[in-house]
Amino acid sequence: MNGLHSSSRVNLPVEPQRLDSIDALRGFAALAVVTVHTSQCVGPSTNPLITLAQQGSYGVQLFYVISAFTLFFSLSIRQSAETHLTRNFLIRRFCRIAPLFWCAMAFYLLRDGLGPRYWLGDAPSVTPLNLLATATFTNGFNPYWINSVVPAGWSVAVEMMFYLTVPILYRTIKSANTAWACTFAWLVLSVLVLKLGEHLVPITDNRLWVDFLFFWLPNQMPVFGVGFVLYFIFRRLQPALPHLRKKKTQSAALLAVSLCAVAVLSYCDYQILPVQFLYGLVFLCVAIALFLHPFRLFVNGLTTSIGKISYSVYLTHSAVIPLAERFVRGMSRRLDWHLSPLPQFALLMLLVVGGTLAVSTLTYRLIELPGQNLGRRLITALRSKSSEKLPASQAPV
């Protein structure tokens, strides 16, 4: 496939603020993941704030919704200016993800070695095939490989496999109705596959198999579908946004309902629909609310800055957490502190967030940006060979 060719091309203007609401949501997604992993250091607790913090694992689903939206948005801008849209898309995605992930892979292998660990289940060690699959992002279809090398790396494997479907889906899904239909089809399929998988366990570690069935791409596709729906809703709203943003009441009401839904989901037993899909719908509403009015409490310089380095935050926070935990334990022994779970969690969060943002700023500048620039140079070199015209505008990545 040399490119994407559509008879109904859409050229959406890029807003001057580069969709600050999207960057802010990326920032909240990253902080949510940091929050849940930090809360695990505190141990079991009945404190409602810590219980709510443990729902931060669904920050990954917020990433997925935003990712699907952004990719469709980006392709809609680039398609009128790029002949080899699919090729350029895959180059950009690979150079955006791979360099930092490979560095994280090397770091965590040096830190943790190849021996047994929780995410290996009953497997004795990390194998060469595991390393090869992880390095090539094909580890998302093996329960022993999907999450055993890079902490929380399962979501990167799922994301990279999702990228391969995006060019085809972009050519196929042309309306909100089609996006909803695909989303619910994926939802039905994911439920059926999950139920079948629960009865057919091909490995001896049942716990690991259950985790894998949640992680892998077929179970996450309905969440990506919600992101496609968000794109078409935004496209319909965009011409009227300057007028709609003056009406704060509707936006505030939708945002309040969405945040209440998060609190409800934190304490409810999920039986009717998969929880990750329910969170996807909540995040859809949150995004629409912030499109309608980007409240400064949520969309500001800090949250958008964190959003821009969110990928680094996601991959580096697992290196910072053990250091913060050891520091707090050492200080507690020396000062004879006896911290209850909530103050301990608050102190850990302060240290982990601060340390992670510092490290992530460095990795973003030293690894992520050079990787993205490499992708641009490669596309430029290929474009010059084929005399492809330059893009009229730069879409967000």
DSSP string, 235-303: HHHGGGHHHHTT-HHHHHHHHHHHHHHHHHHHHS---SS-HHHHHHHHHHHHHHHHHH---TTTSSHHH
Residue 23 φ then ψ, to 5°: -60, -40
Query: Is residue 394 a part of any domain in this protein?
Result: no
pLDDT digits (tens, 9 = 90+) for 242-282: 776 666 888 888 889 888 888 788 777 666 789 999 999 99
Buried b (16+ CB within 10 A) or exposed e, 21-47: bbbbbbbbbbbbbbbbbbbebbeebee
The percent of residues in the chain predicted with pLDDT above 90, rounded, is 71
Assess contact for 186 and 273: CB atoms under 8 A: no
User: Whose CA is closest to 287, among 61, 31, 15, 75?
Assistant: 61
The pLDDT assigned to 73 comes to: 95
Task: State yes or no: pLDDT of 16 exceeds 50.
Answer: no
Distance between CA atoms of 362 and 359, rounded to whole angstroms?
5
Query: Is residue 297 a part of any domain in this protein?
Result: yes
At 5, is the pLDDT very low, low, confident or very high (cuts 50, 70, 90)? very low
pLDDT digits (tens, 9 = 90+) for 97-115: 999 999 999 999 999 999 9
pLDDT digits (tens, 9 = 90+) for 192-220: 999 999 888 899 999 999 999 999 999 99
Query: To 5 degrees, how large is the angle CA 257–CA 262–CA 266?
Result: 145
The pLDDT assigned to 7 comes to: 34
pLDDT digits (tens, 9 = 90+) for 109-143: 999 999 999 999 999 999 999 999 999 999 999 99
CA dihedral 47, 51, 56, 62 (to 10 degrees): -130
The pLDDT assigned to 15 comes to: 44
Task: State yes or no: pLDDT of 321 exceeds 70.
Answer: yes
57: how many CB neighbours lie within 10 A of its CB?
Answer: 19
Query: Pick the residue with more confidence: 188 or 262?
Result: 188
Q: Which two tokens stand for residue 113?
A: 């070695």
Query: Is residue 31 a part of any domain in this protein?
Result: yes
At 50, is the pLDDT very low, low, confident or very high (cuts 50, 70, 90)? confident
At 371, is the pLDDT very low, low, confident or very high (cuts 50, 70, 90)? very high
Query: Pick the residue with more confidence: 5 or 56?
Result: 56
The pLDDT assigned to 17 comes to: 44
How many separate domains does the chain show? 1
Query: Is residue 191 a part of any domain in this protein?
Result: yes
Query: Is residue 234 a part of any domain in this protein?
Result: yes
Query: Is residue 3 a part of any domain in this protein?
Result: no
The mean per-residue pLDDT over the stretch 340-349 comes to 91
The percent of residues in the chain predicted with pLDDT above 70, rounded, is 91
Query: Is residue 391 a part of any domain in this protein?
Result: no
At 14, is the pLDDT very low, low, confident or very high (cuts 50, 70, 90)? very low
At 8, is the pLDDT very low, low, confident or very high (cuts 50, 70, 90)? very low
> Which pTM value belongs to this model?
0.90
Task: State yes or no: pLDDT of 81 exceeds 90.
Answer: no
Structural domain that includes position 267 = 20-384
Query: Is residue 114 a part of any domain in this protein?
Result: yes
